[in-house]
Amino acid sequence: MINVVKIGGNVIDNPEALEKFLREFASLEGDKILVHGGGKEATRMSESMGVPTTMIEGRRVTDRATLNIVTMVYAGLINKRIVALLQKFGCDAVGLTGADGNVIPAVRRPAKPVDYGFVGDIDPDKVSDKFIATLLNGGYVPVFCAICHDGDGSLLNCNADSVAAAVALGASRVAPTRLTYCFEKAGVMTDLDDETSVIPLVTRESFARLKEEGIVAKGMLPKLQNALDSAAKGVTEVRICKSDALCGSVGTIIKEK
């Protein structure tokens, strides 16, 4: 089983949480891949350089100056900081973007209806399982940030959840793969204030019911839909759990059936 694990800004922005998480990740047995988001450092960097940050519907508008900043912060600072820490914990990490080994080709998003600039969308079917297999077979642990490229010389800023899903799908063509999204909550919960209300299993069938009955919070619906799509395409299971409990609590498992 290949474990693909995705962490977001809540872990990356907290040095102690990041170190604790990476220790746990390093201890996972077998083949594994890490995908990380960005956190607040790119915004701070933009501020210190006098580059304005524009967000539309929660997404960063990426002009040329912003593309340079996210490339520096995600692919440089954060990615290599994670690699150095994983190496310290005995995990032979290799930090990558989707441009490296042409592993995650992307397409620049059309300028209409909204021009997000250098933002890319990924076709998961085009992920290079050959590159993933080369590294895993060599005993290495790929660590991806969410910078990809268009194959024509331009880097593109992509969504880290989508990168994780694409990498997991590529990995699933190498060996059975589990995709874990680590986030702030203990899993998919029926009551956001009660950690014991975690739903242990969501299938396509039960998802329809959860949606219909309005049991699951709106923000969770696209996450679950994407997880089910990954499962439908070949990822053995998708798991949503708390980032400080990677090896502990199970959280919510999402499967086709």
Give the footprint of a second copy on this chain (CB under 8 A): 48-50, 68, 71-77, 79-81, 83-85, 87-88, 92-97, 99-102, 130-131, 134-135, 138, 140, 147, 149, 151-155
Of 20 and 81, which has the nearer Cβ to a second copy?
81
Instruction: Find the shortest distance in angstroms from Cβ 174 to a second copy.
Output: 13
What are the φ/ψ torsions at residue 32 (nearest 5 degrees)? -150, 155
Q: Which is nearer to a second copy, 110 or 151 (CB)?
A: 151
Minimum CB separation of residue 232 from a second copy in Å reads: 30
Query: How far, rounded to the nearest angstrom, does the alpha carbon of residue 139 sit from its chain's CA centroid?
Result: 21
CB of 189 to a second copy, least distance (A): 35
When the beta carbons of 17 and 77 are compared against a second copy, the nearer one is: 77
Nearest approach in angstroms of CB 123 to a second copy is: 16
Based on CB atoms, which residue is closest to a second copy, 10 or 131? 131
Least Å distance, CB 121 to a second copy, is: 17
To a second copy, the closest distance from the beta carbon of 72 in angstroms equals: 4
CB of 117 to a second copy, least distance (A): 16
Task: Give the C-alpha separation, 156 to 153, whole Å.
Answer: 10
Q: Residue 121 or 229: which CB sits closer to a second copy?
A: 121
Extract the tokens encoding 103: 């592993």
- Residue (143 or 238) nearer to a second copy, CB: 143
Inter-residue contact 21 to 243 (CB < 8 Å)? yes
Please say which residue, 49 or 208, places its beta carbon nearer to a second copy: 49
